Amino acid sequence: MMKKLFLGCLFFCFSLFIQATDTIQVKQTKIPILIDRSDNVLFYIRIDARNSKILDEIKLRFAGDTNLGEIASVKLYYGGTEAPERKENIHYAPVQYISSHNAQGKTREAIPSYSIKIGGQPSPANEVVFKPEHILFPGINYFWVSLQMKPNASLLSKVDVDIASAKLDGKNALIAREDKPATHRMGIGVRHAGDDGAAAYRIPGLATSKEGTLLAVYDIRYNNSVDLQEYVDVGLSRSTDKGQSWEDMRIPLSFGQYGGLPKAQNGVGDPAILVDTKAGTIWVIALWTHGMGNRRAWHNSQAGMDINETGQLVLAKSTDDGKTWSEPINITQQVKDPSWRLLLQGPGRGITMQDGTLVFPIQFIDSTSVPFAGIMYSKDGGETWKIHNPARPNTTEAQVAETAPGLLMLNMRDNRGGSRAISTTKDLGLTWMEHSSSRKALQEPVCMASLLQVNAKDNVLNKDILVFSNPNSNKERNKITIKISLDGGASFPDKYQLLLDEDHGWGYSCLTMIDRETIGIIYESSVAHMTFQAVKLTDIIPD
């Protein structure tokens, strides 16, 4: 009898506790923390206030290895309530609190009309306690925690923090986490919407010069985010301190009002960059579109060779580490088949083979409107270029790597969807062989990706590695992930993968080695149009 009374009392007390406090639901972000932003979302907090009236307290706790001296402040915001039409599903925010696409340049701080700041702690200690005493809306309430880094924070720094406790109506509340706590990695917004008056920046390429300078190229899309043909130039950013800071933008390729047509009918873009590791010359390649009436070049470029008929393949070169650039060099006559409707590069980067051959990935649309991916190459330091045969049909944006002396691997965007197509050639594209990993090892949502071969002598792991990045999904352009293969691309084990950005963006990326220890990546992220991050190889392969 006593046992029944005790259990009944325990159940009654627990019921009172449940009735008195609501559960606080927490989602920790897996997105880059941009050093150049004054707000970055650390946590989304959701409270369905059925019984509780006031949020009294939120307590955060930083891990001991977090460099608190690099943190400028931690803030708590209230994001309002939920729309009735969405209440059937679990959401963690009613809107995007910080815009990455605002063409007015307001991409670095919280949008003030969407959030109310209700707490802040500059120069925080290991434990941060917010006491907002915020009255809850009857129903669903949204809050979020923001992190601001100091300008001198290292790109290689990490922040580990969790919500330790919370109080509703003066009582400790239950905390339900959607997922496990995650390490937050730093990044830099190399290009934001609105920078230098441009609406959008797209299509990243990245390389490291012989001097160790990082060189990032991209589309400057002045009017909007639309593909060529539009008002588009090729932009370039340089970093001489391993990505910590970036110089003012340069413009290697621009055609202005060429031929009497408006700038938007002379767009040039979708760039790739190549460093000649023997000579030191840096090459940028892009597609120039002239006289297509501001319609998509992919559909409106025609057979032929003349600028009034078809897109033009153009190069610019630099012999001073990317500081200044040559006038455009048109190589269309060298490499295009007149029957093809369009020839352009695979955006991202090209390579120098071990024997000094320069190689760019390419794509073209044949006379029957079928797209193909392949390569073009130069044996004389970029003076002349050749194209042999494509790798396979119905493929487009590709990246190339030399996985063994003289053996090229082409990793291709595949219009069939779901996964990447991969082929190899030993004779610069005369013949191709489908790789064993093709359509198996790497999922994709039909998007551009990046591929980088790093030989054992050039990395701290002392192993030949193949590094790959793309949206790690077969449906959506999210979950930007770096993957490493130790078997020449046959497999990319889950344990050798690192998620950088779980949220949605345009999804294009490009990789380079910053030094023997560190990978650099620039990509179209959820937080900036061109986001740069640095990742230690040992963070992906710790052993």
Name the CA dihedral angle for 393, 396, 397, 403, rounded to a multiple of 10 degrees.
0
Residue count of the chain: 543
CA–CA separation, 115 vs 102, rounded Å? 17
| Local structure of 363: helix, strand or coil | strand
Element (H, E) at 537: helix 537-540
* 265's tokens: 């009918």
Q: Are 339 and 367 in contact (CB under 8 A)?
A: yes
Pairing of strands 418-419, 443-444: antiparallel
Distances in Å between the Cα of 400 and the Cα atoms of 67, 450, 466 are: 39, 9, 11
Q: Which residues contact 35 (CB under 8 A, 6 or more apart)?
A: 149, 150, 151, 153, 155, 186, 187, 188
Are 194 and 107 in contact by the 8 Å Cβ rule? The answer is: yes
3-state secondary structure 212-275: CCEEEEEEEECCCCCCCCCCEEEEEEEECCCCCCCCCCEEEECCCCHHHCCHHHCCEEEEEEEE
Is 211 among the residues known to form the active site?
no
Q: Which residues contact 486 (CB under 8 A, 6 or more apart)?
A: 463, 464, 465, 496, 541
- Please tell me the chain's helix, strand, coil percentages from 3-state DSSP, rounded to the nearest 5: 10, 45, 45
Q: How far apart are CA 80 and CA 88, in angstroms?
A: 17
Q: What string of DSSP letters covers 464-515?
A: -EEEEEEES-SSSS--EEEEEESSTTS---GGGEEEEE-S-S---EEEEEEE
Q: Name the catalytic one among 57, 82, 230, 397.
A: 397
Closest by Cα among 461, 463, 414 to 442: 414
Q: Rounded to whole angstroms, how far apart are CA atoms 356 and 419?
A: 31
Query: Cα 408–413–418 angle (5° rounding)?
Result: 125
Active site (catalytic) residues: 397
